[in-house]
Structure 1
């Protein structure tokens, strides 16, 4: 294990610290100039706001480069990092941020959020929220960072420009990305679909996913590229099953039904209790993430994605 800082005599011998400080500050400065020259005015305002917060945090000092040199521990502690960037924050449980907050307060002995450090949380709440097993909608909302008491000390900085539209030179691709981005925003703003009681519903743009009257699905059934470039985003396994059954019904041919194993191992059969609990009827109803359903319907030419082999 690396040695603690206070266990050193004159020099910092903590290898993790040495590795973290082993960079070329001049090369990083040049890289920063290139990035600054290419960002939008909106991004520049966010960048200036963050750096202003960092510079006012007890006197900001640039980290000293440590290439092939060893610095005394007191110099390192004076120039310790004051900016923490946490990307994709909305997908993390709020307990993670609260744990970091308590840890930094304990280390710095500063009774401020995150021990007085500037923490930048990046992400979009329109995308995936924390995954909480067997949780209700209210439980998931309660697990997000903006449900934490730390959110009261956060300053929200918004970015609206879609950088993918600027990076593409293909007009048709730009139009497609713009259309998809507008659709995503309309879902986040609750402008798409209808109100419901929390139950998942399937709404698929007809021109993007569901075959039209010319049946492009059937005409491209033997073209793997056609399916590789398309996807249906569904929130639950029930929605996935609904889409699969619908698309399978469009393909002509005789449907065959395959059933999964519906009995427990012979070694377990010796227990009367197991036989009563794991009945055939019960095993046929098991449907969980990572396992296929008990009833598998297939036709000739039906595309199949093999995720993994559990045997």
Structure 2
């Protein structure tokens, strides 16, 4: 196995120069740098990452703590897209990803603290679930690095990547109204999913489009879902049985969309003909299973990717980063030409 000294000998430089090249020092001439990297490639030299990490007092590990248990996480396709985005960004930057899935929200908070205090990770990505406030306060007091996937407080200004679903819900409702639908159901997100009671931007976008079209908002057509197949199935059955005049439905997530489609089929309705359904995420699997569905485009992958990039910048720069908002979009499919909005 090649050593740093072997690289130095082949490149005709000192071991210290090789070390400077590996640490991206500006003190090395470009020609020398190229010579060192050529020797590294020829010898297939791999630095001792652990030793380097100890020297820099970093683990080169990024934590991703998910608070809903493995039964939820590994069945939730949207969350998996966020995880995929985090993974891609982390590996691009030469870090390792450590995923922890405690059984409860309370355990997830303590797990994040434990990992950071033991220096198992350099920073953590976590969800803004209920009860997170004291954990964030402790992180801030001890300069522990974190980024949240969504805002944990209306006062939060830094260290988050939030998705603004308002434009997606607005465009979806506007599209259905333009197709002649007047009775449109909405299965929205659960109110208790996040740390503070945010305004439901799905409902806001939905109401704005209805108001502009002169269609009365009927609160009984809005049901609170839980992001699961079962939740979509249950709420769609209830909506269609109590409001048989409903001809269109918007779901706030793709798993709930799958459940809603199954519910409509069980009642003998044909999706796309009897009832128009709009999916909530536009995930790759949904596009393959139901290529005819128009969909709200939820940038889940981009959220995870940007959160990881933000966290690494915070770790390297030693200071907080301004929060980022990503807008949801809308794509038209099915009997209509495919068109992004």
TM-score of the aligned structures, taking structure 1 as reference length: 0.29
Q: Could you say which structure has the larger radius of gyration?
A: 1
Which structure: greater strand fraction?
2
TM-score of the aligned structures, taking structure 2 as reference length: 0.27
